[in-house]
Amino acid sequence: MTSRYDEVYAEWQSDPEGFWAAAAEAVHWYKKWDIVLDSSNEPFYRWFVGGETNTCYNCIDRHVENGRGDQPALIYDSPITDSKRVFTYAELQNEIARFAGVLRRHGIEKGDRVIIYMSMVPQAAVAMLACARIGAVHSVVFGGFAANELATRIDDAKPKMIVATSCGVEPGRIVEYKPMVDEAIEIARHKPDTCIILQRKQHATDLIPGRDIDWKEAMDEAEPVDCVPVRATDPLYILYTSGTTGVPKGVVRDNGGHLVALAWSMPNVYGVEPGEVYWAASDLGWTVGHSYIVYAPLIHGCASILFEGKPVGTPDAGVYWRTISEHKCSVLFTAPTAFRAIKRDDPDGKLIGKYDLGSFRTLFLAGERSDADTLEWAENRLGVPVVDHWWQTETGWMIGGNYAGLGLLPVKHGSVSKPAPGYNVRVVDDGAKEVAAGATGAIVIKLPMPPGCLPTLWNNDEGYLSSYLEDFPGYYKTGDAGYQDEDGYLYIMSRTDDIINVAGHRLSTGGMEEVLASHQDVAECAVVGVHDKLKGQIPVGLLVLKAGVNRPHEEIVVEVVQLIRDRIGPVASFKEATVVERLPKTRSGKILRGTMRRIADGEEYKMPATIDDPAILGEIEEALRGIGYTRHGASS
């Protein structure tokens, strides 16, 4: 199939407002918009002004009304608790309408905020959609976030209610959530009126009389409520992302633009049809979980898999293939780090052969840079297209990628392919001047941003301006660095903070990681720039080896140093690397390079709130000390 990408992108360029108005016809509106794009208060743009809609109605009720109530909507698969359940659209509608009744009974109305602090259970999606049903604004915070981090979000969002599970279930351990909720409320200046607690059978918790309410008891007494029309520009949710100052930034997502962007993306980017099974193997606490576990698949009438488990260890590196096979999944969207873990434990892909993957046709990767070696491993063993794409919490959907529904573009390993319609992407120098094709620079997006992107930060317009718009006037600063080749393909090499200056040469740590990942014994890796008195900064590599590699680590280090010298050159000054058991990551799979750099430089560092396992930082400190770093001693 020849790709229609160039034609569609040109359609958007020639008439941006007409393009999105046409896309908006896929969405149900109680009242059509007066203005497609309101530019009267630049740079605070608003999409579909005057329009009225409801996100829950678009996700659930309209499908039931159109005769598809018996179709699967949400497939809960939890290998970590050995439980499964399939909800049809009609069943999901009933659960959501009743929980919306619970919210209403306890004083939640349009515009009120509700913090959702839950594990990966169906009730978390029900709570999100119930908020959307009555126009309340949800803010999902990772279950298990430290109490002080939850408290900062309580004080910023000022919720009337917190909805939580009693616990989370991790491999080999139970994480009690309720004590963290109690501590966070004690710390916070703002006090929610009510907490609704879903008691999981793995660990029940005590409830505080007068404040805490049992989920099941509340649902048993609930009266269902209907969807409430909201303005297209009303907020649907707040999602907090870490700020450079340590104060979290509340990314706002509106109702109208969000609906239109996600409705466009499902058939055009992911190439799925209503009724098919779509799986985003992420967490509801991340933007991927919001957009592509809960909202987009249901907007489009698909069945969405909500998976509570890990790519390895629950029980093995074949769990993804079992899930795809059992539920006849067509499309998987996950993070590259998941595939690196699978490749590490099953380097030959032997477990893939145990399952029938006849339904599976496309793998999408995003969230962390996809190295060519991992992409090729997946392509060769799965026999399906593997699509790398790039987006951010702030955008809520893809900035750049490939387009299964338009016909895939030729793949270039290391590239996220081309920008999506709506995104005018440029690569510029520090003075906002465009650089030549192939030259590395800061990646920016010319305003206005397309529907679905953040219109501002929650109660913080000034923070929105200073964080994203001031450094490059007229552009949104992505914070990513990379280049665009002569064919218009984008290469996202690293965060701008990860461009290191080695004796005056600006070098990308991402480029070095790509070389290290090509070594036959390396499962995954990270490169950080550490302080050097002579050259300013020099790169240091951390290597995780594939399962079964028994060669001396010193030999492997010598080989990877030579690889960098051969492929990038002596200018990189890459002379140090060390082997580690694992890399510190967020729970979405992003490697904490900045934290490792501070450890190597002997600087104090704050324990990242999103870290998957805090104990790993001690392992990293010990490994770096072994090659002469952390000389000044770091502290957490």
Are 456 and 427 spatial neighbours (Cβ–Cβ below 8 Å)? no
Tens digit of each residue's pLDDT (9 = 90 or more) over 371-396:
788 899 999 999 999 999 999 999 99
Helix locations, 430-549, DSSP H: 461-464, 509-517
Residue 509 has pLDDT above 60, yes or no: yes
Tens digit of each residue's pLDDT (9 = 90 or more) over 205-230:
999 999 999 999 999 999 999 999 99
Give the residue carrying structure tokens 């984008």: 490
Q: Phi and psi (nearest 5°) for 294? A: -95, -60
**pLDDT category of residue 561 using cuts at 50, 70 and 90:** very high
Percent of the chain topping pLDDT 90: 76
C-alpha to C-alpha distance for 419 and 239, rounded to whole angstroms:
24
Q: Phi and psi (nearest 5°) for 176? A: -75, 125
Residue 633 has pLDDT above 80, yes or no: no
Tens digit of each residue's pLDDT (9 = 90 or more) over 90-111:
999 999 999 999 999 999 999 9
Asked if the structure places residue 359 within a domain, the reply is no
Is residue 445 left, alpha or beta, with left meaning phi > 0 and alpha meaning psi from -120 to 50?
beta
Asked if the structure places residue 338 within a domain, the reply is no
Residue among 134, 343, 282, 199 at smallest CA distance from 590: 282
- What pLDDT sits at residue 389? 92
Residue 453: give its domain's CATH number.
3.40.50.12780
Asked if the structure places residue 443 within a domain, the reply is yes
DSSP string for residues in 44-57: --EEEET-EE-HHI
Residue 15 has pLDDT above 80, yes or no: yes
**pLDDT category of residue 1 using cuts at 50, 70 and 90:** low
Task: Tell me the average pLDDT across 504-529.
Answer: 84
Task: Tell me the average pLDDT across 6-15.
Answer: 98
- What pLDDT sits at residue 503? 62
Same domain, 229 and 106: yes
Same domain, 150 and 182: yes
C-alpha to C-alpha distance for 337 and 311, rounded to whole angstroms:
9
What does the mean pLDDT of the chain come to? 92
Distances (CA, A) of 10 to 19, 26, 408, 415, 431: 10, 21, 17, 21, 28
Residue 610 has pLDDT above 90, yes or no: no
Same domain, 436 and 561: no
Q: How many CB atoms are located within 10 Å of the residue 204 CB?
A: 13
Stated length of the chain: 636
- What pLDDT sits at residue 145? 77
C-alpha to C-alpha distance for 143 and 609, rounded to whole angstroms:
11
Q: How many CB atoms are located within 10 Å of the residue 210 CB?
A: 7
- The encoded tokens of residue 298 equal 């249901």
Asked if the structure places residue 293 within a domain, the reply is yes
Are 447 and 474 spatial neighbours (Cβ–Cβ below 8 Å)? yes
Same domain, 477 and 511: no
DSSP string for residues in 531-589: EETTTEEEEEEEEEEPTT--S-HHHHHHHHHHHHHHHT-GGG---EEEE-S---BBTTS
- What pLDDT sits at residue 298? 98
Q: How many CB atoms are located within 10 Å of the residue 570 CB?
A: 9
**pLDDT category of residue 631 using cuts at 50, 70 and 90:** low
Helix (H) or strand (E) run with residue 173 in it: strand 173-176
- Full residue range of the structural domain in which residue 583 is found: 503-626
Residue 183 burial (10 A CB sphere; 0-12, 13-18, 19+):
middle
Angle at 558 between CA 552 and CA 561, to 5 degrees: 140
Same domain, 472 and 565: no
Asked if the structure places residue 330 within a domain, the reply is no
For the chain, the C-alpha Rg in angstroms (whole number) is 24
Same domain, 472 and 590: no
Tens digit of each residue's pLDDT (9 = 90 or more) over 440-457:
899 999 999 999 999 999
Residue among 238, 252, 233, 224 at smallest CA distance from 285: 238
Same domain, 40 and 154: yes
Are 564 and 575 spatial neighbours (Cβ–Cβ below 8 Å)? no
Tens digit of each residue's pLDDT (9 = 90 or more) over 167-198:
999 888 899 999 999 999 999 999 999 999 99
Q: How many CB atoms are located within 10 Å of the residue 379 CB?
A: 15
Same domain, 472 and 515: no
Residue 499 has pLDDT above 70, yes or no: no
Domain count, the chain: 2
Q: Phi and psi (nearest 5°) for 412? A: -120, 115
Tens digit of each residue's pLDDT (9 = 90 or more) over 244-286:
445 679 999 999 999 999 999 999 999 999 999 999 999 998 8
**pLDDT category of residue 321 using cuts at 50, 70 and 90:** very high
Weakest-pLDDT range from 36-45, 136-145, 398-407: 136-145
- What pLDDT sits at residue 536? 76
C-alpha to C-alpha distance for 322 and 303, rounded to whole angstroms:
17
Tens digit of each residue's pLDDT (9 = 90 or more) over 85-95:
999 999 999 99
Asked if the structure places residue 490 within a domain, the reply is no
- What pLDDT sits at residue 245? 47
Residue 510: give its domain's CATH number.
3.30.300.30
Task: Tell me the average pLDDT across 456-473.
Answer: 95
Weakest-pLDDT range from 109-113, 263-267, 308-312, 533-537: 533-537
DSSP string for residues in 304-373: EEEE-S-SSSSS-TTHHHHHHHHHTEEEEEE-HHHHHHHHHHSTT-GGGGGS--TT--EEEE-SS---HH
Weakest-pLDDT range from 407-416, 459-468, 568-577: 568-577
Same domain, 557 and 472: no
Asked if the structure places residue 317 within a domain, the reply is no
Residue 554 has pLDDT above 80, yes or no: yes
Asked if the structure places residue 497 within a domain, the reply is no
Task: Tell me the average pLDDT across 335-355.
Answer: 92
Residue 634 has pLDDT above 60, yes or no: no
- What pLDDT sits at residue 204? 95
The residue among 449, 482, 515 that closes a domain is 482
Same domain, 217 and 266: yes
All residues at 6 or more sequence positions from 210 whose CB lies less than 8 Å from its CB, including other chains: none
Single-letter residue type at 78: S
Same domain, 271 and 122: yes
Task: Tell me the average pLDDT across 565-585.
Answer: 86
Same domain, 45 and 130: yes
C-alpha to C-alpha distance for 423 and 449, rounded to whole angstroms:
7
Are 546 and 343 spatial neighbours (Cβ–Cβ below 8 Å)? yes
Residue among 369, 344, 279, 361 at smallest CA distance from 547: 344
Tens digit of each residue's pLDDT (9 = 90 or more) over 224-247:
999 999 999 999 999 998 654 456
